[in-house]
């Protein structure tokens, strides 16, 4: 094939694109007035990890699919500067896009946001353990989801983002069932039986479990390093789950049952995170979270009367109400906002590493506030889970 017959590869270079949502449509205009082409930008497979991903990360490479042959010089739309160049040695119309913005400010913001979210969730296990002495798990999940939905609905009302179409409501409902109903009920039940420290640690293995679902659902084949991270995380969780802690329990075997619930919570939350990547590519993460919590509340509601018939609530004093507000507003609406903000600034890998602040905070607060005793198995399992998170985070 002669050089004239070779298809062209077009490379677009974004100068300012640290928070550009994906997929996004950009109009390229030449020096002439009329628009020449549209391009859709998607993450390049193997460069951006599952679960990150409704934002570009600086210094990463992305694929660009041009719908029409572009002939433009740099142009701007929505604060994003793009430029086009042609290279004759690769298939047209696929190209690459790279970002080169100075993002030191947003990176610090992203780290602080990620640590804030993980720390809030670490404290959530201690607060929920205290509130669960008065309110049974399913009822507490329902109250948390209702408060979170109301808070997020108010924010959506003020910001007016695009809402899901009727065809995507099934996806939102599946997110509510898996991530908000099943996962949170298992999380609260496990925390009630096994303690705050175990709850924070076992569920922190979620980033590694996401690899299991990313392959069949998104077609993202795990690398050898990611498989190693999954093995490390699973081993660490099994050590904590099967051995347990030395804290006293009300019934023999309650720690094993509680740890099993927590393992279910970690696995289902990983599935929710992978499925949520689809929704977040179409809608604002705030909208996805609001609809998921709303559907989760609807799925949880039928279980509340059944639970209260056998396990009635205790006295709701001000400390209990404060805990409910913390769980519903701070750890649901607030922490999700911070987590999504962190992902928007940093991508997927570093927030996965920051996620390990959750068991550190949960374990320390569980030991100091609740008097839980952390056994050797907790620290061994925690070290393995931490190694898994670091290993998976380095796969960038």
- Position with higher pLDDT, 156 vs 222: 156
> Does 355 score more than 80 pLDDT?
no
Give the rounded percent of residues in the chain with a pLDDT score beyond 70: 63
- Position with higher pLDDT, 334 vs 205: 334
Look at residue 234 in the predicted model and tell me its pLDDT.
Answer: 76
- Position with higher pLDDT, 48 vs 199: 199
Q: Which tens digits make up the pLDDT trace of 144-184? A: 999 999 999 998 888 877 888 888 899 999 999 998 999 99
Q: Concatenated DSSP letters for 19-62? A: T--SSEEEEE--SSSS--EEEEEEEPTTTS-TT--SS--TT-EE
Q: According to DSSP H, which parts of 132-177 are helical?
A: 137-159, 169-175
Please state, in angstroms and rounded to a whole number, the distance separating the CA atoms of residues 75 and 3: 28
Look at residue 37 in the predicted model and tell me its pLDDT.
Answer: 33
Matching residue, tokens 């925690």:
382
> 54, 79, 82, 75: which is closest to 161 by C-alpha?
54
Most confident of 48-52, 113-117, 202-206: 113-117
Per the CB < 8 A criterion, the answer to whether 126 and 362 are in contact is: yes
297 to 105, 141, 182, 290, 369: CA distances (angstroms): 37, 8, 11, 11, 30
233 to 18, 129, 204, 386: CA distances (angstroms): 31, 24, 9, 8
> Does 253 score more than 90 pLDDT?
no
Of the given ranges (65-69, 217-221, 262-266, 344-348), which has the lowest mean pLDDT?
65-69
State the pLDDT confidence band at 305, using cuts at 50, 70 and 90.
very high
- Position with higher pLDDT, 182 vs 386: 182
- Is 3 in a helix, a strand, or coil? coil
What global pTM score does this model have? 0.64
Over residues 201-209, the mean pLDDT reads 77
State the pLDDT confidence band at 347, using cuts at 50, 70 and 90.
low
> 276, 189, 175, 190: which is closest to 241 by C-alpha?
190
Q: Concatenated DSSP letters for 294-318? A: HHHHHHHTTHHHHHHHHS------H
Look at residue 216 in the predicted model and tell me its pLDDT.
Answer: 82
Give the rounded percent of residues in the chain with a pLDDT score beyond 90: 18
Over residues 9-27, the mean pLDDT reads 35
Instruction: Answer positive or negative: Cα dihedral of 269, 337, 139, 319.
Output: positive
> Does 339 score more than 80 pLDDT?
no
Of the given ranges (174-183, 249-258, 368-377), which has the lowest mean pLDDT?
249-258
Q: Which tens digits make up the pLDDT trace of 94-129? A: 333 333 333 334 467 777 787 888 889 888 888 888
State the pLDDT confidence band at 350, using cuts at 50, 70 and 90.
low
State the pLDDT confidence band at 396, using cuts at 50, 70 and 90.
very low
Q: Concatenated DSSP letters for 229-278? A: HHHHHHHHHHHHHHH--SS--SSTTHHHHHHHHHHHHHHHHHHHHHHHHH
- Tell me the pLDDT of the chain averaged across its residues: 69
Look at residue 181 in the predicted model and tell me its pLDDT.
Answer: 94
Per the CB < 8 A criterion, the answer to whether 310 and 138 are in contact is: no
Please state, in angstroms and rounded to a whole number, the distance separating the CA atoms of residues 265 and 184: 7
Over residues 341-346, the mean pLDDT reads 66
* 267-298 b/e (C-beta count within 10 Å ≥ 16 → b): bbbbbbbbbbbbbbbbbbbbbbbbbbbbbbbb
Look at residue 293 in the predicted model and tell me its pLDDT.
Answer: 92
Peptide bond just before 93 cis, omega within 30 deg: yes
Look at residue 139 in the predicted model and tell me its pLDDT.
Answer: 94
Most confident of 8-17, 313-322, 353-362: 313-322
CB atoms within 10 A of CB 169: 12
264 to 181, 184, 187, 227: CA distances (angstroms): 12, 10, 8, 20
> Does 263 score more than 80 pLDDT?
yes
3 to 8, 12, 89, 247: CA distances (angstroms): 10, 22, 8, 73
State the pLDDT confidence band at 383, using cuts at 50, 70 and 90.
confident
Tokens in use for 159? Answer: 């910001």
């Amino acid at each position: 094939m002669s050089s004239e017959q070779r298809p062209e590869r077009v490379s677009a270079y974004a100068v300012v694109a640290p928070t550009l949502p994906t997929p996004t449509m950009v109009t390229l205009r030449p020096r002439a007035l009329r628009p020449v082409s549209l391009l859709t930008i998607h993450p390049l497979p193997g460069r951006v990890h599952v679960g990150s991903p409704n934002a570009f990360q600086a210094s990463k490479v992305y694929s660009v699919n041009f719908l029409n042959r572009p002939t433009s010089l740099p142009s701007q739309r929505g604060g994003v500067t793009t430029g086009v160049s042609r290279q004759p040695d690769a298939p047209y119309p696929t190209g690459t896009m790279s970002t080169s913005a100075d993002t030191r400010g947003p990176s610090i913001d992203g780290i602080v946001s990620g640590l804030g979210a993980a720390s809030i969730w670490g404290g959530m296990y201690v607060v929920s353990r205290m509130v669960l002495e008065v309110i049974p798990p399913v009822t507490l999940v329902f109250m948390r989801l209702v408060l979170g939905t109301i808070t997020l609905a108010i924010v959506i009302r003020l910001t007016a983002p695009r809402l899901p179409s009727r065809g995507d409501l099934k996806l939102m409902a599946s997110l509510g069932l898996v991530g908000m109903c099943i996962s949170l009920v298992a999380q609260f039940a496990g925390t009630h039986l096994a303690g705050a420290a175990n709850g924070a640690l076992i569920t922190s293995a979620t980033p590694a479990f996401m690899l299991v679902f990313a392959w069949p659902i998104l077609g993202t084949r795990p690398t050898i390093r990611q498989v190693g991270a999954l093995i490390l995380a699973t081993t660490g969780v099994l050590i904590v789950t099967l051995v347990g802690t030395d804290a006293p329990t009300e019934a023999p075997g309650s720690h094993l049952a509680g740890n099993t619930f927590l393992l279910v919570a970690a696995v289902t939350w990983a599935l929710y995170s992978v499925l949520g990547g689809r929704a977040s590519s179409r809608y604002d993460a705030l909208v996805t979270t609001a609809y998921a919590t709303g559907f989760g509340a609807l799925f949880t509601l039928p279980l509340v009367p059944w639970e209260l018939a056998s396990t009635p609530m205790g006295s709701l004093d001000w400390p209990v109400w404060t805990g409910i507000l913390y769980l519903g507003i701070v750890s649901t609406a607030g922490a999700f906002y911070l987590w999504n903000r962190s992902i928007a600034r940093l991508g997927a890998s570093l927030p996965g590493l920051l996620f390990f602040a959750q068991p550190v905070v949960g374990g320390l607060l569980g030991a100091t506030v609740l008097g839980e005793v952390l056994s050797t198995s907790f620290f061994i399992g925690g070290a393995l889970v931490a190694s898994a998170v670091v290993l998976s985070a380095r796969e960038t």
